[in-house]
């Protein structure tokens, strides 16, 4: 995997992957900040796992929402100190056991973004069936 980050102006950067996908990131927060992108990546990566694990278990998933709450260090570098991911999953025939297992497997075994942050960030999860 390769990517290029190109400075545009002020603290604004154009970012492009070798597959041609792009995003604009901005240190001033005019567009998405790099830390916002990391937080969204936690939610997206782990939600992909949760949905995939449930579907591979032949469960019907109608919706999966991941609500994220993050705390950052007060002083620079302002890295994440804690992230809580709360999954709201809807589907036919889903049980607490199914969803709990999918969330646990994502957080502990499959989500590369969470696993990359583990040891540096206190990551917790919760879920509900809707």
At 123, the pLDDT band (50, 70, 90 cuts) reads very high
pLDDT of 72 reads 98
- What is the mean pLDDT of the segment spanning 102-119? 98
- What is the mean pLDDT of the segment spanning 44-66? 98
- For the chain, residues classed under CATH 2.20.25 are 1-32
What is 34-129's CATH number, 2.60.120.260, 3.30.499.10, 3.30.300.20, 3.30.465.10? 3.30.300.20
- For the chain, residues classed under CATH 3.30.300.20 are 34-129
pLDDT of 116 reads 98
- Strands of the sheet containing 12-17, edge to edge, are 3-9, 12-17, 22-26
pLDDT of 64 reads 98
At 24, the pLDDT band (50, 70, 90 cuts) reads very high
pLDDT of 47 reads 98
Mean pLDDT computed over every residue of the chain: 97
Q: Which residues pair with 123 in a beta bridge?
A: 83
User: pTM of the predicted model, to two decimals?
Assistant: 0.95
- What is the mean pLDDT of the segment spanning 116-125? 97
- What is the mean pLDDT of the segment spanning 62-74? 98
C-beta separation of 59 from 17 below 8 A: no
Burial class (CB in 10 A: 0-12, 13-18, 19+), 2: exposed
- What is the mean pLDDT of the segment spanning 61-86? 98
- Report the topology of domain 1-32: N-terminal domain of TfIIb (2.20.25)
pLDDT of 14 reads 98
């Amino acid at each position: 995997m390769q990517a290029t980050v190109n400075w545009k102006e002020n603290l604004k950067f154009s970012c492009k992957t070798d597959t041609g996908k792009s995003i604009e990131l901005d240190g001033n927060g005019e567009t998405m900040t790099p830390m916002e992108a990391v937080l969204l990546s936690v939610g997206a990566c782990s939600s992909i796992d949760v949905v995939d694990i449930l579907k591979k278990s032949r469960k019907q998933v109608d919706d999966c929402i991941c609500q994220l709450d993050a705390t950052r260090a007060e002083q620079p570098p302002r890295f994440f100190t804690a992230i809580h991911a709360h999954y709201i999953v809807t589907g036919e025939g889903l049980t607490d056991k199914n969803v709990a297992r999918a969330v646990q497997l994502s957080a502990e075994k499959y989500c590369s973004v969470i696993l990359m942050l583990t040891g540096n960030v206190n990551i917790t999860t919760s879920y509900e069936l809707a």
